[in-house]
């Protein structure tokens, strides 16, 4: 297809709701990663929670990526438009509530509730809003594309997700330096409010096709979850894979403290964007190179290479080495990420592929939760007490090494010898 044909296809091949949903997702990711870039530093230092702040960031990450599994039936029942309205309304309130913990006007309210309970409530409120966005946008892409445009549609979606993830911290940096770190959360609240306005003005509910699956009830979802949790082979794979996400989330949990306090580079948000920009550039060529490699081996190799990135950061405490280490980590991420979804689909029984794919975010959630507790320990132990910052990254490399070995052992002793069709 020529460039002119492709541009014409982009203009005429997708419904209006497709573009509106994807633009909303772009700005939602901008708000999410803009706040995520500073959240650990904000809670630990500005709000004054210390190590507990890192743990709460992990709890927030777990809720954001686990709750969409339960939110799907609500989205199916009430529709994408109503769910998006609820999503951005909750996001606006949630982000502002988090920011209120660091604003002078919020101190009386926070003190009356207690800092930790207040922050937990604000984070969980925001996570509830986050649970609604993925089913809405992914569902809109599915409904507004055809067999011929679906692949391109999802490519546009994933590109905009990564673009928002890369732009958010950069915008957050400008707000932090210009107004203060607490106003980054206010920025995310304002962005969510504009998304709410955009939904009200421009988003229209896409038509449901006669061939669409019958929406599942919450009870059916819970029964399906019980079935999946009883599949020990599948659950062991997800638990092993969560090791990658334990490493990944340190880019937002531990790295800001290291970049600022050890490397003396105050604009840590810029370093947090390296992974997103690298993924945008590397995913297509790296996926093509790994196409003929078995999924388990591709994932294991991706784990090993990602771990080497942390080894470099720990061994060479310079800004250049840190950037190079994150880029190496991104290469490992690009090698394994697409193959993960392929392997999950292969593990699923033929009549339960949708149910199993719904659990694809479980390793992300588990990794976020564990990473929050781990980052609090690593920063306090190796950065503040013993002043051995390299050990932070060698520990993470150890997590990656253990995960690599466990993945190979899984492949040897647990994985099915022949994946189902």
pLDDT in tens, 201-259: 999 988 766 555 666 666 777 787 788 888 899 999 999 999 999 999 999 999 999 99
**E strand or H helix at 5, and its extent?**
helix 3-12
Other Cβ atoms closer than 10 A to 211: 5
pLDDT of residue 75: 83
d(CA 237, CA 166): 29
Which two three-digit tokens encode residue 176?
A: 């932090």
Predicted local distance difference test score (pLDDT) of residue 212: 56
Interatomic CA distance for residues 129 and 92, integer angstroms: 9
Topology, domain 216-416: Growth Hormone; Chain: A; (1.20.1250)
- 3-state SS of the chain: helix, strand, coil percent to 5? 80, 0, 20
What is the fold of 8-204? Growth Hormone; Chain: A; (1.20.1250)
Distance CA 191, CA 214 (A): 34
Tokens of 180: 């203060």
Burial class (CB in 10 A: 0-12, 13-18, 19+), 26: buried
| pLDDT value at residue 418 | 54
**How big is the chain, counted in residues?**
421
- Which value, in Å, is the radius of gyration of the alpha carbons in the chain? 21
Question: What would you measure as the largest C-alpha separation in the chain, in angstroms?
Answer: 63
Residue the block writes with tokens 């937990």:
120
* Per-residue pLDDT at 374: 97
In a 10 Å sphere around its CB, with 0-12 CB exposed, 13-18 middle and 19+ buried, how is residue 113 labelled? Answer: middle
Backbone angles phi, psi at 151, to 5 degrees: -60, -45
Q: Which residue's structure tokens are 């078995």?
A: 294
* pLDDT for 348: 77
**Ranges of CATH 1.20.1250.20 domains, the chain:** 8-204, 216-416
Query: In whole angstroms, what is the distance from residue 321 CA to residue 309 CA?
Result: 9
pLDDT tens across the length of the chain (421 residues): 455 555 555 555 688 889 999 999 999 999 999 999 999 999 999 999 999 999 999 999 999 999 887 887 788 788 899 999 999 999 999 999 999 999 999 999 999 999 999 999 999 999 999 888 888 888 888 888 877 777 778 778 888 888 999 999 999 999 999 999 999 999 999 999 999 999 999 999 887 665 556 666 667 777 877 888 888 999 999 999 999 999 999 999 999 999 999 999 999 999 999 999 999 898 888 888 888 889 899 999 999 999 999 999 999 999 999 999 999 999 999 998 878 888 887 887 766 776 787 788 899 999 999 999 999 999 999 999 999 999 999 999 999 999 999 999 999 998 876 544 3
102 close to 181: Cβ distance less than 8 angstroms: yes
CB atoms within 10 A of CB 255: 26
H or E element that contains 149: none
Contact between 130 and 32 under an 8 Å Cβ cutoff? The reply is: yes
């Amino acid at each position: 297809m020529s460039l002119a044909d492709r541009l014409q296809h982009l203009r005429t091949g997708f419904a209006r709701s497709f573009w509106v949903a994807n633009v909303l997702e772009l700005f939602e990711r901008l708000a999410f990663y803009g706040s995520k870039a500073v959240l650990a530093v904000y809670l630990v230092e500005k709000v004054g929670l210390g190590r507990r702040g890192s743990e709460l960031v992990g709890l927030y990450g777990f809720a954001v990526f686990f709750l969409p599994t339960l939110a799907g039936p609500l989205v199916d029942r009430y529709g994408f438009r109503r769910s998006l309205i609820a999503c951005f309304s909750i996001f606006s309130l949630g982000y502002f509530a988090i920011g209120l913990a660091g604003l002078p006007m919020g101190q009386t309210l926070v003190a009356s509730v207690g800092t930790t309970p207040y922050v937990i409530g604000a984070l969980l409120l925001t996570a509830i809003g986050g649970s609604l966005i993925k089913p809405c946008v992914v569902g809109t892409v599915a409904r507004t594309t055809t067999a011929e445009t679906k692949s391109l549609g999802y490519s546009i979606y994933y590109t905009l997700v990564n673009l928002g993830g890369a732009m958010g911290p950069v915008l957050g940096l400008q707000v932090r330096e210009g107004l203060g770190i607490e106003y980054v959360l206010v920025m995310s609240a304002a962005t969510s409010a504009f998304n709410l306005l955009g939904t009200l003005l421009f988003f229209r509910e896409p038509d449901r096709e006669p061939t669409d699956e019958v929406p599942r009830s919450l009870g059916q979802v819970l029964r399906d979850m019980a079935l999946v949790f009883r599949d020990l082979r599948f659950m062991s794979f997800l638990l092993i894979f969560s090791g990658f996400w334990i490493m990944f989330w340190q880019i937002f949990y531990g790295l800001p403290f290291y970049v600022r306090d050890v490397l003396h580079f105050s604009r840590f948000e810029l370093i947090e964007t390296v992974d997103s920009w690298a993924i945008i550039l590397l995913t297509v060529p790296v996926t093509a190179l790994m196409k003929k490699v078995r999924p388990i081996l591709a994932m294991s190799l991706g784990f090993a290479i990602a771990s080497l990135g942390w080894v470099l950061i720990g061994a060479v405490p310079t800004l250049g080495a840190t950037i190079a280490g994150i880029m190496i980590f991104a290469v490992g991420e690009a090698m394994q990420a697409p193959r993960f979804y392929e392997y999950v689909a292969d593990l699923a029984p033929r009549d339960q592929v949708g149910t199993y794919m719904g659990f694809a975010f479980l390793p992300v959630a588990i990794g976020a939760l564990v990473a929050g507790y781990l980052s609090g320990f690593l920063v306090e132990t190796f950065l503040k007490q013993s002043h051995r910052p390299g050990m932070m990254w060698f520990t993470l490399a150890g997590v990656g090494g253990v995960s690599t070995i466990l993945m190979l052992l899984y492949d040897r002793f647990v994985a099915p010898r022949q994946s189902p069709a």
